[in-house]
Structures are given as structure tokens and as C-alpha cells.
Amino acid sequence: MRGATLLELLVGLTIAGLLLGLALPTGAALHDRVLTDGVAGDILAAYVRARLVAQGEERVTLLLLAPDSTVIRVVEGPADTVIRWRDRGVGAPGVTVTGLPARIRFAPSGVTLGVANLTYTLVRGSVRRQVVVSRYGRVRIQ
């Protein structure tokens, strides 16, 4: 049985270190992309849920987006609202989100009221995503 020499071990470790050094930046960029895509998905899910609540209950619905909380409220009367859904915010560690906090009103038909196009910009590291919401409530991730 033959063992490895010290020179062979050093060459093997050097090659492994070089490969690891090449893979780490790619892993960090992938992690940044996963986190920003997750935040974009959270924003999309909040809009879809609020739109469905407005259509299902046939009432004006408010979507309140903030880094620390997401809340959907249904308007019950002139000055009364009831919480239908609450979840964590649409932020993630290290992801900067511009455009928050936001307060969006949905008509009973599911169309947003009094809103032009909204854009949320998500940035982490070298990854940048934009979530664009049309005045009709359609969400597009770029």
C-alpha cells in the first residue's frame, strides 16, 4: 500500500483552496439573489392576498406594507377597519427596500384605488430587483 507524499498533499490542498476561493464569491452572490427574490415574492404574495380578500369579501381593503409587518384590513364602516391577516414584514437581513412603508387601498373589484404605478427597489450586495405594481394592482418583478 502506497501513501501520499508531502508534496502531493500540498499540491492537492493548493488546488482545493483555489477552487474554494473561486466558488465563494459565487456563493455570496447566490445568497444575495435568494434573499432579494424572497422579499420580492413576499411583496407579490401580499398584493395577491389583499386583492383576493377585497374580491372575496366585496369590500374596500387596505394593504399596509412595512419592513416589520404586513397587515391586511377590511373597511367595515366609515372609520372602522378589521384585521383579516397579519404577518412579518417584507424585509430580510441586509436587503434594503425603498418604497416602504406603503398603504394601498383595493376596491371591492380588486383594483387599487388612488394609486399610480408603485416601484419598490430591493438591493443586497450587487443584486438589485424592482417590484413594479401597476395602478390596476398587477405586480411585475424585474
DSSP state of 78: T
Nearest-angstrom CA–CA distance, 72 and 85: 5
Alpha carbon of residue 14 to chain centroid: 39
What pLDDT is recorded for position 2?
76
What pLDDT is recorded for position 129?
94
All domains of the chain in start order, with CATH: 6-141 (3.55.40.10)
- How confident is the chain (142 residues) per 10-residue block, as mean pLDDT? 81 87 74 91 92 94 93 90 91 88 92 84 92 85 89
What pLDDT is recorded for position 17?
85
What pLDDT is recorded for position 18?
85
Quick check: 117 and 132 in contact, CB under 8 A? Answer: yes
44 three-state secondary structure: helix
What pLDDT is recorded for position 1?
57
Quick check: 104 and 63 in contact, CB under 8 A? Answer: yes
What pLDDT is recorded for position 9?
87
What pLDDT is recorded for position 114?
78
